[in-house]
Chain A
Amino acid sequence: MDAPQQSDARPVLEGPDIARVLTRIAHEIVERAKGADDVVLLGIPTRGVFLARRLAEKLEQITGRATPVGSLDITMYRDDLRLRPARALARTDIPGDGIDRCLVVLVDDVLFSGRTIRAALDALGDLGRPRAVQLAVLVDRGHRELPIRADYVGKNLPTSLRETVKVQLSEEDGRDAVLLGVREPAPTGEK
């Protein structure tokens, strides 16, 4: 995700596709949660938060009730903290009523190794005790390194490890798209 923007990156989902995918996921959440009255959406910064807010809007359109939505920063729970310089933190914002006995749906843009979600589950444990935790992702690109799977998937995108998947959302990047590119070997001399 951190790879520089490739000029030959190919869009695999465009704006309208993303909107349709989110509508479908919202319906699936309502169906599986039998009305979704105890659902709390928690987005993982940065783009997961925007996706969670969009999903909350769709859920409100379907159920007519406002769904609590928040953000969960997992930086302090990462297992690779000591591989890089200390990172800036993002906002953790838990809705006022907390997450105890709720159905928490974690929302992220890309599911890859699964390590982010592992960290998110640890973070949730320090915040309360949800009734259940589910996972919604816009893109599942495979290559899991942990026994973790998503409950709601926008698009399954089989990739090779040499490829990059970049999600762009209008809130952050000015447009909606999922781009598939090829990682270029890092130029020598650069970290």
Chain B
Amino acid sequence: MKRHLISAADLTRDDAVLVLDTAEEMARMADRPIKKLPTLRGRTICNLFFEDSTRTRISFEAAEKRLSADVINFSAKGSSVSKGESLKDTAQTLAAMGVDAVVIRHSASGAPYRLANSGWIDAPVINAGDGTHQHPTQALLDAFTLRRRLVGHDAGIGQDLSGRRVTIVGDVLHSRVARSNVDLLHTLGAEVTLVAPPTLVPVGVDSWPCEVSYDLDSALPKCDAVMMLRVQRERMNAAFFPTEREYSRRYGLDAERMARIPEHAVVMHPGPMVRGMEITAEVADSPRCTVVEQVANGVFTRMAVLYLLLGGNEPAVTQPSSRTEEK
């Protein structure tokens, strides 16, 4: 594995399968009386959140604490950033305090890459979502949830997702989750179809390893999983569709549409959900919807990533060739 986790495309198939297998072992720890491992004792991890987040920040914090790391939480609100401090100065402050790893979320695409490659700080950087670019741990936890549901907990060990069909529906244009999932699911051998109104499909999508469709109903009957995306109003500076009702009618998942997806298929959502917009309450609360499971799996997956990046004197080695590429 590479030293930083900036993009889901940084992971080879073997890296990704190793993360999922490790997450499976972490998941088994959840039923123990003492849910804590001493592995990262004495290491300090800083959660650097320049953008609002509940799920991801709490999930990372839980994962770090279960591995016994010391956690420093930093959020832009109420810090010197609101006084005008730059990313560089913040990074150098953290470096001076002796931080062993940085988990960063930023509204600007590329901020984690900049942090990792600028020489400001000499610690592994984990991207917890940057702008409309990438959210690799979300893609990993989605792949983990998919593998558990479609292949099985124990049967899935060592397996990828080859031949599985995943449909990603909604605001692809603003979605880092969609970008990361397309990269990772493709690496793991799955076939991805994006479904969105033409205005919410990014320019250059034809170079992505996936299919694109504008019609949800034709994509539903032949998929193993449907991933619904939230319409990210806060990133929208123009009108991308006429009304919410029209969006919801054409691209929302309701019980009637859910009845048309295959029996074994699951409905996923990275959260936060807007009930009544991209998903109805009936679908969100059905047993086929994995939203809550995805949150639980997020902790296991992030524990796996933290362990594999920080658990040794260098990241886990999956194959000799991946190691020479790095240097």
Residue B221 at the chain A interface, CB threshold 8 Å: no
Number of inter-chain CB pairs below 8 Å = 61
The stretch of B140-148, B208-216, B242-250, B303-311 that contacts the partner chain: B303-311
Task: Identify which of B307, B308, B310, B312 gathers the most chain A CB atoms within 10 Å of its CB.
Answer: B312
Given known contacts A76-B37, A81-B39, A126-B32, A86 and B312 CB-to-CB distance under 8 angstroms: yes
Interface secondary structure of B, over-half rule: loop
Contact B309 A77 (CB under 8 A): no
**Which residues in A have their C-beta under 8 angstroms from that of B78?**
none
Count chain A residues whose beta carbon lies closer than 8 angstroms to a beta carbon of B: 20
A51 shortest CB reach to chain B, Å: 21
Give CA–CA (A88, B32) in the complex, Å. Answer: 20
Contact A85 B317 (CB under 8 A): yes
Size band of the interface chain B makes with A: 20 to 34
Contact B38 A128 (CB under 8 A): no
The stretch of B17-25, B184-192, B264-272 that contacts the partner chain: B17-25
B20 shortest CB reach to chain A, Å: 12
B95 shortest CB reach to chain A, Å: 20
Encode contact with A along B288-323: 1 for CB under 8 Å, 0 otherwise.
Answer: 000000000000000000011111111111000000
**Which residues in B have their C-beta under 8 angstroms from that of A76?**
37-39, 307, 311
Give CA–CA (A127, B39) in the complex, Å. Answer: 16
Encode contact with B along A19-43: 1 for CB under 8 Å, 0 otherwise.
Answer: 0000000000000000000000000
Interface secondary structure of A, over-half rule: loop
**CB-contact partner of B316 in A82, A88, A128, under 8 A:** A88
Residue A91 at the chain B interface, CB threshold 8 Å: yes
Give CA–CA (A90, B28) in the complex, Å. Answer: 12
Given known contacts A76-B307, A122-B38, A84 and B313 CB-to-CB distance under 8 angstroms: yes
Give CA–CA (A85, B38) in the complex, Å. Answer: 17
Given known contacts A73-B25, A92-B25, A92-B28, A85 and B316 CB-to-CB distance under 8 angstroms: yes
Residue A83 at the chain B interface, CB threshold 8 Å: yes
Given known contacts A87-B311, A88-B21, A91-B25, A128 and B317 CB-to-CB distance under 8 angstroms: no
Contact A127 B38 (CB under 8 A): no
**Which residues in B have their C-beta under 8 angstroms from that of A82?**
312-313
**Which residues in A have their C-beta under 8 angstroms from that of B39?**
76-77, 81
Residue B275 at the chain A interface, CB threshold 8 Å: no
- Contacting A at CB under 8 A, from B36-59, are 36-39
Nearest A residue to B23 by beta-carbon distance?
A89
Residue B33 at the chain A interface, CB threshold 8 Å: yes
Give CA–CA (A122, B38) in the complex, Å. Answer: 9
Contact B33 A86 (CB under 8 A): no
**Which residues in A have their C-beta under 8 angstroms from that of B308?**
86
**Which residues in B have their C-beta under 8 angstroms from that of A81?**
39, 311-312
Contact B33 A128 (CB under 8 A): yes
A77 shortest CB reach to chain B, Å: 6
Contact B36 A126 (CB under 8 A): yes
New A-B pairs, 16, CB < 8 Å, besides A85-B312, A87-B311, A93-B28:
A76-B39, A76-B311, A77-B39, A82-B313, A83-B312, A83-B313, A84-B312, A86-B312, A86-B314, A88-B18, A88-B316, A89-B307, A90-B25, A92-B25, A92-B28, A92-B29
